[in-house]
């Protein structure tokens, strides 16, 4: 039995782990579509339990008056799909938090930033059940159970270990039927590096420049050239991995950022609000992989040093 449809497991019960902006928004979409969604909540639990969730979205506002939520994984119990949307800085809790949500055929989809998440999940829970999703979306959590979705929404989903069955197509169609703009990708790693082409310079410079938005970055003399140099290095690492990212893709990243206006990358918001920044996932791990491949990334390393200095100053 290999590459057969027997591996396509029906997904009914869904758990959303980490209900910040991303988890809250996508989970609420699935719940609104009538799916059996269970949010694992901490600080927002009491509020969401009593008042539900509110989504203000460019794709249509909606409210959920009743939301399935719990304070522990044990209360939720085994589900068919675990969606992980917490900050990568909490990944050390994977084992304890995820294990109670699993049955033998549970699948796990991480929507987290950067590199290393699918590998960490595969290490603990087995590689055959892991999916990664890259979110191209502007969402902010403006209060407990309250999300503002201001642009895009695409999720590009891939299998950590493609198995040739129809399970990826099934997952994509499930998310689509839940009102999520979704696309299956053949090569998850390539999709991750394509996203890093934007995240590494923009999230990073927004911090190293002192906590500024993308418009300020593009308007600051010299920064656009620096963005391009950083993107070129990320592109080179991707090429070394066999992922051919075109030069035109780099230009497109800058072109699409201009009309976004004063956009605040998530890492910059974490920085200015004094929360942990996902330095490992977005900068350190890519640098590590570059060095494993023998690819020099001096611009990214300078940026990483600047980010670390900013965080040291802040006392984090």
Q: Which residues bind its own copies (CB under 8 A)?
A: 1-3, 78, 94-96, 99, 102-104, 106, 119, 122-129
CB 290 within 8 A of CB 297: yes
CB 37 within 8 A of CB 150: no
- Minimal distance in Å, beta carbon 99 to its own copies? 4
CB 64 within 8 A of CB 32: yes
Whole-angstrom distance, CA of residue 10 vs CA of residue 30: 15
CB 136 within 8 A of CB 151: no
- Minimal distance in Å, beta carbon 2 to its own copies? 3
C-alpha neighbours within 13 Å on the C-beta side of residue 305: 6
- Minimal distance in Å, beta carbon 94 to its own copies? 8
165 or 266: CB nearest its own copies:
165
10 or 92: CB nearest its own copies:
92
- 195 in catalytic set: yes
Beta strands in the chain (DSSP E): 13-17, 36-40, 53-57, 62-64, 69-70, 79-84, 102-110, 130-143, 146-159, 182-184
Whole-angstrom distance, CA of residue 51 vs CA of residue 213: 32
Q: Which of 12, 176, 195, 252 is catalytic?
A: 195
78 or 211: CB nearest its own copies:
78
- Minimal distance in Å, beta carbon 13 to its own copies? 14
CB 177 within 8 A of CB 230: no
- Minimal distance in Å, beta carbon 76 to its own copies? 15
Q: Among candidates 280, 297, 185, which has minimal Cα distance to 237?
A: 297
Q: What are the residue numbers of the active site?
A: 195
């Amino acid at each position: 039995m290999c590459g057969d449809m027997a591996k396509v497991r029906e997904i009914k019960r869904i758990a959303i782990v980490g209900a910040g902006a991303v988890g809250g928004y996508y989970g609420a979409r699935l719940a609104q579509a009538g799916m059996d969604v269970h949010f694992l909540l901490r600080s927002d639990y009491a509020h969401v339990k009593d008042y539900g969730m509110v989504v203000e979205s460019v794709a249509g506002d909606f409210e959920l008056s009743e939301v399935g939520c719990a304070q522990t994984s044990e209360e939720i119990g085994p589900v068919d799909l675990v969606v992980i949307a917490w900050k990568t800085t909490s990944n050390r809790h994977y084992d304890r938090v995820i294990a109670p949500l699993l049955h033998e055929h549970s699948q796990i989809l991480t929507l987290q930033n950067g590199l290393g998440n699918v590998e960490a999940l595969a290490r603990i829970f087995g590689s055959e059940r892991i999916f990664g999703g890259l979110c191209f979306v502007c969402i902010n959590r403006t209060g407990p159970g309250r999300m503002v979705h201001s642009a895009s929404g695409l999720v590009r989903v891939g299998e950590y270990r493609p198995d040739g069955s129809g399970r990826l197509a099934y997952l994509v169609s499930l998310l689509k039927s839940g009102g999520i703009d979704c696309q299956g990708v053949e090569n998850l790693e390539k999709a991750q590096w394509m996203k890093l082409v934007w995240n590494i310079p923009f999230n990073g410079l927004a911090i190293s420049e002192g906590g500024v938005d993308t418009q300020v970055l593009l308007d600051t003399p010299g920064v656009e050239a620096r963005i391009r140099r950083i993107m070129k290095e990320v592109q080179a690492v991707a090429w070394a991995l066999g992922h051919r990212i075109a030069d035109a893709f780099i230009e497109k990243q800058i072109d699409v950022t201009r009309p976004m206006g004063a956009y605040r990358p998530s890492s910059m918001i974490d920085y200015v609000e004094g929360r942990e920044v996902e330095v490992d996932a977005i900068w350190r791990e890519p640098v590590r992989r570059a060095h494993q491949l023998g690819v020099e990334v001096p611009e990214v390393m300078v940026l990483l040093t600047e980010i670390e200095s900013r965080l040291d100053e802040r006392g984090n």
